[in-house]
Structure 1
Amino acid sequence: MGTAAVITLLRPGALSVLPPLSLYIHLPWCLRKCPYCDFNSHEWAPKTPAASAPQGGASALGRPGGGLLASKTPASPAIGHVPIVPANTREGLPEARYIDALMADLESALPQIWGRRVHTIFIGGGTPSLFSPASIDLLLAGVRARLPLEPDCEITLEANPGTFEKDRFKGFRQAGVNRLSIGVQSFDDAKLKVLGRVHSSDQAKAAIDEARSAFDTFNIDLMYALPGQTLAELDADVKQALAFEPPHLSLYHLTLEPNTRFATQPPKGLPDDDTAFDMLDHLIAANEAAGLHRYEVSAFARKGHQCLHNLNYWQFGDYLGIGAGAHSKISLPDRLLRQVRWREPQAYMDKALQGQACSNEHDIALSARPFEFMLNALRLKSGFEFSRFTERTGLTLAAIQKPLAEAEAKGLLARDLQRAWPTARGFDFLSDLQELFLA
């Protein structure tokens, strides 16, 4: 080892091992912006009515979605025979130019991740399945040409139910996607209307049936504590979801996020906190009885079907984010780098094609690393290994000993000689637990 390398490793916060690397790809367009959505999504209105426009896409609340791929990523076949969104409904959606921008963005980022293999890919939005299977095939072929992927790389596409052509999901599977995350949110048509969703309960069921036939693993997103929702209505929703025997289920409490329509025009009839807690307890019990175990605050999975992509987030792994508004966290031997891409799709395409996709970037300060690590790690029921904290932050355990002791004293956290994990109370009051680690 050269002198410069030795000096680098002796610096406070230097990393001796780089974490696993994931790739996040953001496709920003959707048919309608949901009133609770605070993602970087942009409405795109086709000339034909929304009800007749094939769709799929953004899972309601988040990047969680589930499952572990069951087979190796297939070679990228020609899929011109697969039905795609009719040209008249896709008119104006700049798929080709956006993919060109994504490839330019990726090429500009390569020096920061040179030689590293990608463990997982997540295509989120927006509504990624507004893009045709042929476009997703082109996108993934471009990624493979520029990045080395692990042989069993998990590749997820978010999809919303809707009137899609039969075999559309099979087209995405042939393009190389091996896990689907379906944003159902509810099987109650009245609740779907309140949430601003553009699909019906019947369309949701049809989409899940299609996913089951095309994929070895998939996730269903559901929301609870909806306006006017009763425990009986929630029970009907979760029973319907579990009837499909999903490998993974993500359950999200409806929250009123800033800069959303619900924040300025709150819906009526939201359940109170006690009712919401009762709903969560019911969901946990129903999932456990069905063989789906809670491994993260909002995620339940059968054995072997945890979401590898989101696990990498929660374990403070690295991720390169490309696409409008995408975020990155990249570890370098002497620093941790955060980046954000331009948010507005047209501006992003223009800038990315000029080699300037990032709107800003900054290093994560040493003082901020403990909280950033704990913010993610405490979402996992299994918690974290102390050795991983040191490996991923470059800091010793002394940086978090005081808040660890305080959290343990409050009954929010338990630990042994190797690891720490949130207690049941810590899971229930996760924000309080996380705040103890603020610098």
Structure 2
Amino acid sequence: MTPDKTPLALYVHWPFCVSKCPYCDFNSHVRDTVDQAAWRDALLADLAHEAAQLPGRTLGSVFFGGGTPSLMPPATVAAILDAAQTYWPPEPDVEITLEANPSSVEAVRFADLAAAGVNRASLGLQALDDAALRFLGRAHDVKEGLGALDVAQATFARVSIDLICARPDQTLAAWQAELARALAFGTEHLSLYQLTIEPGTRFATEAAKGRLTLPDGDDAADLFEATRQMTAAAGLPAYETSNHARLGAESRHNLTYWRYRDYAGIGPGAHGRRGGMATQRRRKPENWLAAVARNRHGIEAETCLTPHERATEALVMGLRLREGVDLAHVAALAGGQAPVVDSAVDRLVAQGMAVRDGERLRITEAGALLLDAILPLVVADEAAA
């Protein structure tokens, strides 16, 4: 397999939050105190280890995720960016994103974060309704969130906002009004997710007790279709299942994942892909910190993926994109033929659910709603590949 020499993406995980949202299954933790100097040094050590494994690359993007990375000291953000761009020369248009909660306390840090090098903010508004925000366990209200959005738009070159729909009792008309308001803010990118019940969350407990019910399949489908129609009409069409952007404003970092290129992941629970190797850091913050102190990295597991595993991951990720997937790239990962069930693809094409154009396979708008059902049909298992 030809080594990946495309610009590298770096993911940095900051695991701490002020509180745990009831729907969240991300690796986030609430701690009374954080030794900021120790965490900065540990993240830099973890980064140095990854840099040694990935020499000779350029840096295309950095993404600070969490947790709540807007709680990171700007000096820590600056130190990580300085080190990363020393190890890997940055591309001229390097994209540096930081996830932020839209609170007035964190908005005060935005100018310092921009000075540290952040040029794109991903703001977790999540809802434009105070009752919904309380239900979602968010610490901000709509007024405070929109104030933080104003500061972000005045501070960062690029801004994305997150919203959650398909909330209990949410009507189609209510979501359309909320989305229309969000589109009027003028941000270049929106991440629009349907609420799901994730195992181990407080919402999962509530659902198991019958105290929480989400919209049924038909209602959820109506919300999905309305979202696609409204964002497209506003000039921010879906370029991925849940992500919408103006042309050229797509998240270059996330495109690295979906196009199945190399990315380094540092910090607790972070995953990475480098040269056919899957990396995973220790998840619990204290365990990760101890591992870095002991080994100078926080890796819990490194797994050499088989050609079929790499090709399958590339297919599953790439078919989420409006542009689809390059089957020649997938075949190269597989070391031969792409693991695609041709008969299933032919049926989907005949039904208007997919388009196959030479070496490119993509799911149509009609098929996007059924993507979760389509993927098992299209992707061949190892025995059939």
1:50-65 counterparts in 2 under 5 A?
none
Shift of 1:416: 1.5
Work out whether residues 191 and 227 of structure 1, in 8 Å CA contact, stay in contact via their aligned partners in 2: no
Kindly provide the CA deviation profile for residues 62-87 of structure 1, in whole angstroms up to 9, marking residues without a partner as x.
Answer: xxxxxxxxxxxxxxxxxxxxxxxxxx
Change (3 A) 1:166 1:256: closer
Instruction: Could you tell me which runs of 5 or more consecutive residues in structure 1 were left unpaired when the two chains were aligned.
Output: 1-13, 46-91
Match among 79, 86, 104 for residue 145 of structure 1: 86
Q: Which residue of 2 aligns with 1:300?
A: 244
Q: Residue 179 in 1 paired to residue 166 in 2?
A: no
Q: Residue 273 in 1 paired to residue 217 in 2?
A: yes
Distance 1:278 1:190 in 2: 23
Distance 1:395 1:381 in 2: 25
Q: Which residue of 1 aligns with 2:262?
A: 318
Q: Which residue of 1 aligns with 2:278?
A: 338
Work out whether residues 22 and 121 of structure 1, in 8 Å CA contact, stay in contact via their aligned partners in 2: yes
What is the aligned-residue RMSD (CA, Å)?
1.8
Work out whether residues 124 and 157 of structure 1, in 8 Å CA contact, stay in contact via their aligned partners in 2: yes
Give, as a single letter, the amino acid of the residue that structure 1 aligns with 2:186: E
Q: Residue 395 in 1 paired to residue 335 in 2?
A: yes
Q: Please give the secondary structure, in 1, of the residue aligned with 2:266.
A: strand
Shift of 1:397: 3.5
Give, as a single letter, the amino acid of the residue that structure 2 aligns with 1:346: E
Q: Please give the secondary structure, in 1, of the residue aligned with 2:105.
A: coil
Shift of 1:434: 1.4
Q: Please give the secondary structure, in 1, of the residue aligned with 2:196.
A: coil
Give the stretch that moved more between structures: 319-328 or 264-273.
Answer: 264-273
Instruction: Could you tell me which runs of 5 or more consecutive residues in structure 2 were left unpaired when the two chains were aligned.
Output: none
Q: Which residue of 2 aligns with 1:347?
A: 287
Change (3 A) 1:33 1:165: closer
Kindly provide the CA deviation profile for residues 151-204 of structure 1, in whole angstroms up to 9, marking residues without a partner as x.
Answer: 221000000111226652121111100000001110111011111111111111
Give, as a single letter, the amino acid of the residue that structure 1 aligns with 2:149: I
Q: Which residue of 1 aligns with 2:30?
A: 43
Match among 17, 28, 33 for residue 30 of structure 1: 17
Match among 172, 175, 180 for residue 239 of structure 1: 180
Q: Please give the secondary structure, in 1, of the residue aligned with 2:277.
A: strand
Identity of aligned residues (%): 40
Give, as a single letter, the amino acid of the residue that structure 2 aligns with 1:339: T
Shift of 1:242: 1.4
Change (3 A) 1:166 1:373: closer
Shift of 1:273: 1.4
Bigger relative contact order, structure 1 or 2 (CA pairs below 8 A, ≥6 apart): 1
The alignment covers a number of residue pairs equal to 375
Distance 1:370 1:394 in 2: 5
Change (3 A) 1:205 1:318: same
Kindly provide the CA deviation profile for residues 42-68 of structure 1, in whole angstroms up to 9, marking residues without a partner as x.
Answer: 0134xxxxxxxxxxxxxxxxxxxxxxx
TM-score (norm 1): 0.81
Shift of 1:269: 4.3
1:11-410 counterparts in 2 under 5 A?
14-15=1-2, 17-45=4-32, 92-164=33-105, 167-266=108-207, 268-331=212-275, 336-354=276-294, 355-391=296-332, 393-400=333-340, 402=342, 404-405=345-346, 407-408=348-349
Distance 1:398 1:159 in 2: 39
Distance 1:215 1:20 in 2: 23
Distance 1:297 1:418 in 2: 21
Give, as a single letter, the amino acid of the residue that structure 2 aligns with 1:242: L
Shift of 1:104: 0.9
Work out whether residues 161 and 183 of structure 1, in 8 Å CA contact, stay in contact via their aligned partners in 2: yes
Distance 1:165 1:150 in 2: 29
Give, as a single letter, the amino acid of the residue that structure 2 aligns with 1:397: Q
Shift of 1:228: 2.0
Distance 2:226 2:338 in 1: 39
Q: Residue 414 in 1 paired to residue 358 in 2?
A: no
